[in-house]
Amino acid sequence: MTGTSLRTYLITRLALVVPMVLILLTLVFLLMRVAPGNPIQAALGGHVPESVVKPIEHRLGFDKPLLTQYGDYLWDILRGNFGTTITDNRPLSQIIQQNGAATLELTFFAMLIAIVVGVAIGLVAGRYRDTWLDVGGRMFGIVVYATPPFFLGLLAQLVFGVWLGWLPTSDQASPLTQALLKTHTNILFVDAIWDGNWGALWDVTQHLILPATTLGLITAGVFVRLVRVNVIRTMRDDYIEAARARGIAERRVVFSHAFKNALVPVITVVGLNLALLLGGAVLTETTFNWPGIGHELVLYLENRDYAGVQGIIVVFALVVVAVSVIVDFINAYVDPRIRY
Amino acid sequence: MASTSAPAPITPHGRAKLIALGRATKPIREASGMARFMFWTGVGITLFFVALAIFAPLLSRYNFTQYASGGHRFPQLGHPSSAHWMGTTVQSSDVMSRVVYGAQTELEVVAIALAMSLSVGVPLGLISGYFGGILDRALVLLMDALFAFPYLLIAIVIAFVLATSSIGGGILTAAIAITAAYVPLYFRVVRNHVISVREEPYVDAARALGARPRTVIRKYVFFNVVQNVPPIATLNAADAILLLASLGFLGYGIQPSQGAEWGYDVSRAVSDAASGIWWTGLFPGLAIVLLVTGLTLLGEGLNETLNPVLRQRRFGRFEFDEREPREEALLDQ
C-alpha cells in the first residue's frame, strides 16, 4: 500500500521537474542570447575583424535564427552536451569532470564541518534556551552569517597561512603532488587514498583545511538557527510532556525524544543549503584559488566567455534541481505524511 | 506652502492614525530580554552606519579616490598612522576614507534594490494570490524555479549581462542584479499569505457587499499581508549587503571610480594578505560584518517583538511547509 503511494509521489515529483528545468534553461538562454551586444566580439576582446568572428559564430550556431538556436540548445543539453567554451575551446564535459571534482571535494568537507558545528551549537542553544549558552550560540550564528566567505578566508589566510605559517593558502595541492598523483576520480583526496599515497593525502588535506573550514563555518550559521528552532519546537510537543510524565529521565527525554525528532528536518536543510553552498563555493574558490567549477565560472565571466558562463550556469541549475528531487525522495521515504 | 500654514489640527481620522501608530509600536516598547537587546543593538549599529553615510564628507579627511594631499602622494601600502588611521592601499588611497564612503554606496544600492524588489514582488504576489488561476500557476512555477537557484548566481548572471551590454556597470546595474535575486522571495511570502487571508470572513464580507477586487486587495488584503514585510525586508537588507559585497568582490559591483565598495576593496586586499598586509582587507571586511550583523539583529528583534501572533499562527493554523528554509530562516527565530 505504501509502495504504491510512494511510487505515485515519486512520479508526480519527477513530472514537476520537467517544467522547472525547462524554465531555468529558457531563462538562461534568454539572458545570454537576447541580451544586447555581440558575445563573440566581447569574448575576443572588442574589435575583431568579421573574418575571424564569422567561423566562430558558425561553429557555435549563432548565425541561425533564434528559435532554431533555442531548439538546438535544448536538444544538446538533453543529449548531455553542454557546449564548448569560446576563449579556450574547452568542452564543458571536461570542466565538469575536472573542476567539478574539485568543487565536490570542497563542498563535501565544508558541508561536513557545517553539519557538525551547526548541529552541535544549535542543539545546545535550543536545549538551554534563554541562557548565556543560547545567547552565545545565536550570536555565533548571526556573526558567522554576517561574514562573507571571502573575508573569513582572507583572515584565515593571514593568521594560519602568513603569520603562523601552518597551512597553505591557495591551490588544491602542491605542484609536486599534482604532477605525481595518478588520476582516478579527479577528486584528489580520493585519488590519494586509492593509491595509498599517504604523503599526497597529507598534502591534499593541508590544502583542504582552510577553504573547507571557511565555507563550512559560514554555512553552519544556517544550521544553528534551524536546529535551535526545531529543538525549541519539539521540546514543546505533547510527546515530550508524555515522556516526562512516564518518568523517563530528563537526559533520555532530551537525547532520544527531542533531539532525534528535531534533527529530521536537517536532511531537507542539508539539501536545500546546497544552493547557498554553491554560491559560497564560488567566492571561497576565488579567494583560495581553488580550481573548482566556481573558480572557472569567475574566469569565464572575466573573459566574457558567454558559452563558458552559460554552460556552467546550466550545470549549476541541473545540480540544484537534482538535489531538490533527491531531498524530496528521502523525505517522502522517511516521513509518510509528506506523500499525501 | 505647508510651512506657512498653521500646524494642521488633529482630525479624528488623524487621531485614529496616531493611536494605531502607538499600538503598532507597543510591542517594541514592551519588549524585554534578548529581543529588546537585539532590537536596540541593531538600531544602534544601523544608525551608526546611516550617520557615516550621511556625514561621510565631514567625517573623512580625504575623498575615496584621492591618493595625494597638498602635493604629497600618500604612501603605498602605508601602515596605519596618525595621518592614515587605517593605512593606505596599493593605489595609495586612504583606507579609512574608503570605509566611510563605502557606507554611502552600500546603503544607497541596497535601498534602491529593496524598493525595487518590494515594488515588483509585493504587487505580483498580491495579484497572483488573490486571483489565482492560470496566471498564478505560471508565476508560481517561474518564481519557484528562480527561488531554488543560488541567488548569488542569479545576481552574477544579471550583472554580467548588463555590464557586458551597452548599459555598463554601476549603481543601477548592481541594484537591478540584487532586485532580480530577491523578487521571488517577496513574491512567495506575500502570495502564500494572501492565499490564507483571501478566505477570511471579513474579505468574504467585503466581496459580498460588492466591493471591487481592487478595493478588496487595497483595503483588506494588503494591510494584513504587509505586516509581515518589515522584519523580512530588514533581514533581506542584511542579505543584500552581503550580495552587493560579493558582486563587488567578483568585480561586478560598483566601478571603483563611482563609489567606494567594501567587497571590491577586500578583493584587492587578497593579494596584500599573502605578504602579511592586514589593514587593507581587515577594515572594509569588518565594516561588512558589522553592518550585516546590525541589520540582522534589528530584523530578528523586530521579528521576535512583532510576530508572536504570526508565530503561534504558524504552528497552529498554517501547515508548516518544510520546503522553504530561506523563508523559514527569515521568519522564525
Distance of CA A311 to the CA centre of its chain: 17
- Would you say residue B8 has pLDDT above 80? no
Highest mean pLDDT among A133-137, B64-68, B286-290: B286-290
B306-322: pLDDT as tens digits: 655 434 333 333 333 43
**∠ CA A41-A43-A46 to the nearest 5 degrees?**
45
User: How would residue B71 be classed by pLDDT, with cut points 50, 70 and 90?
Assistant: low
- Would you say residue B7 has pLDDT above 60? no
From the list B144, B251, B292, the residue facing A20 with the nearest CB is B144
Among A28-32, A113-117, A250-254, name the one with the lowest average pLDDT.
A250-254
Percent of chain A past pLDDT 70, that is, above it, reads 92
From the list B153, B156, B292, the residue facing A146 with the nearest CB is B292
Chain-chain contact of B165 with A36 (C-beta, under 8 angstroms) = yes
* H or E segment and range at residue A315: helix A306-334
Residue B48 has a pLDDT of 92
Residue B212 has a pLDDT of 83
- Cα dist from B153 to A86, B145, B201, B250, B253, whole Å: 21, 13, 42, 11, 14
Chain-chain contact of B141 with A304 (C-beta, under 8 angstroms) = no
What is the topology classification, in CATH, of domain B48-58+95-311?
A: MetI-like fold (1.10.3720)
| Chain A with chain B: Cβ pairs closer than 8 A | 169
Q: Is B89 helix (H, G, I), strand (E, B) or coil?
A: coil
Percent of chain A past pLDDT 90, that is, above it, reads 12
* H or E segment and range at residue A133: helix A132-146
Residue A110 has a pLDDT of 92
Closest alpha carbon to A260 in A237, A292, A284, A285: A237
Strand partners, A84: A91
User: How would residue A168 be classed by pLDDT, with cut points 50, 70 and 90?
Assistant: confident
What is this structure's pTM? 0.83
B275-284: pLDDT as tens digits: 878 888 888 9
Among A52-56, A323-327, B9-13, B308-312, name the one with the lowest average pLDDT.
B308-312
Residue B323 has a pLDDT of 39
Distance CA B309, CA B291 (A): 29
Cβ B90 vs Cβ B76: under 8 Å: yes
Distance CA B221, CA B130 (A): 9
Chain-chain contact of B142 with A23 (C-beta, under 8 angstroms) = yes
Residue in A with minimal Cα distance to B262: A151
Chain-chain contact of A36 with B166 (C-beta, under 8 angstroms) = yes
Chain-chain contact of A146 with B160 (C-beta, under 8 angstroms) = no
- Would you say residue A2 has pLDDT above 70? no
Nearest CA distance, B293 vs chain A (angstrom)? 6
For CA atoms B6, B10, B12, B13, the dihedral sign is positive
Residue A214 has a pLDDT of 92
C-alpha cell recorded at residue A97: 569532470
Cβ-Cβ contacts under 8 Å, A31 against chain B: 157-158, 161
What is the topology classification, in CATH, of domain A99-339?
A: MetI-like fold (1.10.3720)
* Residue at grid coordinates 530588514: B234
- Would you say residue A60 has pLDDT above 50? yes
Residue in A with minimal Cα distance to B270: A154
From the list A146, A162, A222, the residue facing B273 with the nearest CB is A162
Cβ-Cβ contacts under 8 Å, A297 against chain B: 156
For testing contact with chain A, the best of B152, B165, B296 (most A CBs within 10 A): B152
Cβ-Cβ contacts under 8 Å, A301 against chain B: 156, 160, 250-252
Chain-chain contact of B273 with A157 (C-beta, under 8 angstroms) = yes
Distance CA B16, CA A297 (A): 56
- Helices then strands (H, E): number in chain B? 15, 2
B188 by Cβ neighbours in 10 Å (0-12 / 13-18 / 19+) ranks as buried
Distance CA A20, CA B144 (A): 8
Strand partners, B72: B69
C-alpha cell recorded at residue A293: 567549477
Domain spans of chain A, in order of start: 20-78, 99-339
User: How would residue A85 be classed by pLDDT, with cut points 50, 70 and 90?
Assistant: confident
User: What number is the average pLDDT over the span A313-340?
Assistant: 77
Nearest CA distance, A1 vs chain B (angstrom)? 25
Cβ A317 vs Cβ A92: under 8 Å: no
Residue B326 has a pLDDT of 42
Distance CA A241, CA A264 (A): 19
Nearest CA distance, A186 vs chain B (angstrom)? 25
List the 151-170 stretch of A: residues with Cβ below 8 A of B.
151, 154-155, 157-158, 161-163, 169
Among A25-39, A111-125, A325-339, B221-235, name the one with the lowest average pLDDT.
A325-339
CA dihedral A82, A84, A85, A91 (to 10 degrees): 90
User: What number is the average pLDDT over the span A164-177?
Assistant: 79
| Residue with more model confidence, B268 or A58 | B268
Residue A151 has a pLDDT of 92
- Print burial letters for A84-117: b (CB count within 10 Å at least 16), e (below 16): bbbbeebebbebbebbbbbbbbbbebbbebbbeb
Q: What are phi and psi of B307, to 5 degrees?
A: -110, 25
Chain-chain contact of B332 with A229 (C-beta, under 8 angstroms) = yes
Nearest CA distance, B78 vs chain A (angstrom)? 17
| Residue with more model confidence, B12 or A68 | A68
Chain-chain contact of B249 with A27 (C-beta, under 8 angstroms) = no
SS3 per residue for A16-83: HHHHHHHHHHHHHHHHHHHCCCCHHHHHHCCCCCHHHHHHHHHHHCCCCCHHHHHHHHHHHHHCCCCC
Strand partners, A91: A84
Chain-chain contact of A302 with B267 (C-beta, under 8 angstroms) = no
Whether chain B has a CB inside 8 Å of the CB on A37: the answer is yes
Domain spans of chain B, in order of start: 48-58+95-311
